[in-house]
Amino acid sequence: MKQEEYSWLLITEKANSHYLDFSVNTNSLGIPDTLRENFSHLISVVGSYPDTDCVTLSTALAEKYKISSNSLLCGNGADDLLYRLVFALKPHRALIIEPTYEEYNRALELVNCNVYHYQLSPTNQFELSRDLLTAITKDLDIIFLCNPNNPTGNIVRPQLLGEIIEKCQKENVFLVVDECFLEFIQDWETYTLKSKAAASSNLVVIDAFTKTYSLAGFRLGFCISGNDSLLENMKSQGQSYGVSVPAQFAGVCALMDQHYLQETYAFLSVERTWLYSQLHAFDIEVWPSQGNFLLFKTAYPNLRQALIRNRIKVRDCSQFYGLGPEYCRIAVRSHEENVKFIEVLRTILK
């Protein structure tokens, strides 16, 4: 095939797509400038095998989060680490705080784990309360908590996080906290459990570059735990060359950018607020979010199909445990794209 005839879009999931996609909630600012500026340097190293220990990347992560690099394990995205963790622990009984990311349940099913669901209520703004503490018992092996939650965007208060950690330690239950959306919050350091995880044997934090830095195509994630034997076990659960040279390169470049996250906070504070107010004006039930997305509920029948006819995709939330087809999630995109979405929605709902 001649180069001029080739569309590089064909190697992505966007192939043959002509839609404005609000279902994907990666950072709308795109990749960091430091990666764009240094990308030419990748050519000189991409022909080599990757460092299986991801030393340079782990050192950069350790410096950012002020933890030991020995408490870090990098992987081929957050999902890779999730599956490695489940395969390493092989839990018998798990509790998932719902609605949330479906992949937790899928991973647990592969090891024939009995999964229990702690359902958050929309009437309580999907807020996690201290009632969860009564559900944490010695009969459980592991708990999954997404903070901030996907798809609701709710954040768990630091005091409650501390109580959950304490109860899990008391009952000898592994606590897995997914922080993949946490750094969309400007004061994320108030909520992160990364330092605590680095010093704990039963607390694991999973994070990734996918959402925050818009590096979905590189597949790069990491987890933090003070449990050395667990990390070694997780490392043995998959291929040795789990993180490619381009992925490690992209991660280091992203961490070098001193302005990217500040630009993200400024962008989100304006666009998320505007999008929320516009949805609220339609008399649509929409929930406040700490993430780069919004969850809303509408009584309009077949809204997603109507949007598709107008070449706009939103996330079908009926796939989330406890939510029905009336729930949708949309990413916060550029102002121009957000305006287009609202204009189309206004036409449909009028």
pLDDT tens figures, 134-151:
999 999 999 999 999 999
CB contact set of 26 (below 8 Å; sequence gap of 6+): 210, 211, 214, 216, 331
Tell me yes or no: is domain 33-256 CATH 3.40.640.10: yes
Q: Do 145 and 175 form a contact (C-beta atoms < 8 A)?
A: yes
pLDDT in tens, 254-285: 999 999 999 999 999 999 999 999 999 997 99
Domain 3-32+259-349 class, CATH top level: alpha beta
- How does residue 1 score in pLDDT terms, banded at 50, 70 and 90? very low
The whole-number pLDDT of residue 8 equals 60
Q: What is the pLDDT of residue 350?
A: 84
Q: Which helix (H) or strand (E) holds 176?
A: strand 174-178
**Do 336 and 20 contact (CB within 8 A), yes or no?**
no
pLDDT for 3 beyond 70: no
> What is the model's pLDDT at position 4?
53
CA 64 to chain centre: 19
**DSSP codes, 188-228:** GGGT--HHHHHT-SSEEEEEESTTTT--GGG--EEEE-S-H
* Residue 197 pLDDT > 80: yes
Tell me, what's the pLDDT at 7?
62
CA atoms within 13 A on the CB side of 272: 23
Residues 13, 184, 319, CA angle at the centre, nearest 5°?
Answer: 50
Nearest alpha carbon to residue 63 among 226, 198, 177: 198
Mean pLDDT for 41-70 is 97
pTM: 0.95
List of residues 6+ apart from 63 with CB closer than 8 A? none
Sign (positive/negative) of CA torsion 309, 315, 317, 321? positive
> Based on C-alpha coordinates, what's the Rg of the chain?
21
66: left (phi over 0), alpha (psi -120 to 50) or beta: left
Nearest by Cα to 128 from 69, 177, 169, 172 = 177
Q: Is the dihedral of CA 162, 163, 166, 171 positive or negative?
A: negative
Average pLDDT, the chain: 95
Residue 15: pLDDT above 80? no
- Provide φ and ψ at 178, rounded to 5°: -95, 115
Cis peptide bond upstream of 148, omega within 30? yes
With 90 as the cut, is the pLDDT of residue 343 above it?
Answer: yes
**Pairwise CA distance, residues 156 & 52, whole Å:** 34
Tell me the two tokens of residue 183.
């750094």
Beta bridge partners of 114: 93
* Residue 271: C-alpha distances to residues 56, 184, 199, 332 (Å): 35, 13, 37, 7
Lookup result for tokens 């195509």 = 217
Domain boundaries, the chain: 3-32+259-349, 33-256
Range from 16-20, 143-147, 150-154, 173-177 carrying the lowest mean pLDDT: 16-20
59 neighbors 69 (Cβ within 8 angstroms): yes
